[in-house]
Structure 1
């Protein structure tokens, strides 16, 4: 008979291996999966759509970073995408928009857009060394798979900001010849994601959406995005003091109960900024791109 400690370890390993296998399904080829995707799910339900991931500050910040929260260890970073990176100002219908672009400006196989939170700008989403190197991994996943990544500077989190994001989505969709566009938003940037979900014309240009540590939107089921049935993934820290995880999880549960394509990753003990550091970009993008 298996003893309980060994049985618990075996179950943990099987869950982690299952997550890794699932993350391999999709168009994006692996990049440093042994580092970024080596996450242990300590709880799952809803057929795996809801999961609680083991997060430990001492391991996932202090053990991962050379300077905690400022500079990740060199093994986590590959700077080759810098050759395909440029700071640009796009002339859109809503006015000039400063962006960092990484990857193909024309003919990209897919587009990923990241919207920062309050007091951020394009530098946040293009920093190779902060957030445990997670944006560097995103850059590598995009460039190595023929895509393009945009990190814009958004000054206002209102209708004007929504208009800027909508114009960026339209421009990216046009430049790629109609290829998939994924929108991701963190923290207060989620206000813009939710605003975009009401824009029917823009929703037609989207493939899916990721919300990291964002504000809940109880009216999302009334949106054009919801009507279109586009996939949505939430990632959140359980100890988030800005936007409560339970509020976001309640919306997930409401959507999932009705069969909506939605997933929720909760980082156990994680704070408001944990999803930006810990979200497994390859796994999320592969799911959004293949729904």
Structure 2
């Protein structure tokens, strides 16, 4: 009788305990940790990060802005890296991938800005090795990383990226999918968030040195409380940090408790968030916060 009671109790514990969300394992966390925190607010969601070019570019790169020091990278993901043409509902599209093409645990897609291409987010050596870290995080955790080519930052580009999202989500239907957008790529992030069909597949948006879109507040993604992360340099000459911060505040006030975070890199420039954002911290937060 006691034996059956214990087994029944164990079964109850197993059934009543929540399934733990996927969390990415550490990878070079000490090297990519923020060098210092100047200020926090909003219960830790708003963070001002100490940034210094002499330390965070010249001290980190073997050749400033062109080649990071070797200890920041691992080329292990090269074994699963591919340059492909995938046939989507929008036609054939060029993409580069790292990791599992099907059955992935998590999917991260990076959309480049003006003048970029699918190779930017696959470069192991630029931006302080931060893209290499993202590649390693996906590869070592059974995930998939995708950098697509697209025609423009308007409706056609949005349609092409939507095709890429639909294609890879169909190969890994259980995976949460996050879209990261650098600079002008952010216009595609906001368009995708407002697309009634594609937005169902998106579990989080990562906006790096980019723009804002007031229409997001009216979108299905906003109603689903899709997590949004903003990374922005305080000296960004392209998109003013004050306007992006105001948009972050509007999201939070429009829906109290909304999962939104803002990391301001003090004295950072336009490309600083791509170099400095802690990918593991951001993605693990999104994996826990997304529904």
TM > 0.5: yes
The C-alpha deviation readout for 1:184-217, integer Å capped at 9, x for no partner, is 1000000100100111211111111100011111
Q: Note the 1:76-95 alignment, pairs <5 A.
A: 76-95=72-91
The Cα of 1:39 is off from its aligned counterpart by 3.1
Aligned to 1:162: 158
Helix, strand or coil at the partner of 1:216: coil
1:247 aligns with 2:243: yes
Q: Note the 1:190-205 alignment, pairs <5 A.
A: 190-205=186-201
The Cα of 1:26 is off from its aligned counterpart by 6.0
Aligned to 2:65: 69
Q: 1:45 aligns with which of 41, 44, 47?
A: 41
The Cα of 1:97 is off from its aligned counterpart by 1.1
Q: Which runs of 4+ in 1 moved over 4 A?
A: none
Aligned to 1:230: 226
Root-mean-square deviation over aligned CA pairs: 1.1
Q: Give the Cα–Cα distance (whole angstroms) in 1 for the partners of residues 241 and 181 of structure 2.
A: 16
Aligned to 2:146: 150
Aligned to 1:187: 183
Helix, strand or coil at the partner of 2:142: coil
Aligned to 1:267: 265
Q: Give the Cα–Cα distance (whole angstroms) in 1 for the partners of residues 244 and 41 of structure 2.
A: 16
Normalised TM-score (structure 2): 0.90
The Cα of 1:89 is off from its aligned counterpart by 0.8
Helix, strand or coil at the partner of 2:151: coil
- Verify the 8 A CA contact 1:120 1:153 in the aligned structure 2: no
* Bigger radius of gyration: 2
- Verify the 8 A CA contact 1:26 1:287 in the aligned structure 2: no
Q: Give the Cα–Cα distance (whole angstroms) in 2 for the partners of residues 118 and 155 of structure 1.
A: 11
- Verify the 8 A CA contact 2:104 2:175 in the aligned structure 1: yes
Q: Structure 2: any 5+ residue segments left out of the alignment?
A: 1-20
Aligned to 1:9: none
Q: Give the Cα–Cα distance (whole angstroms) in 2 for the partners of residues 26 and 246 of structure 1.
A: 34
1:120 aligns with 2:116: yes
Q: Note the 1:3-42 alignment, pairs <5 A.
A: 27-42=23-38
Helix, strand or coil at the partner of 2:250: helix
Q: Give the Cα–Cα distance (whole angstroms) in 2 for the partners of residues 279 and 261 of structure 1.
A: 17
Q: Give the Cα–Cα distance (whole angstroms) in 2 for the partners of residues 32 and 38 of structure 1.
A: 12
Size of the aligned set, in residue pairs, is: 267
Normalised TM-score (structure 1): 0.90
The Cα of 1:228 is off from its aligned counterpart by 1.2
The Cα of 1:261 is off from its aligned counterpart by 1.1
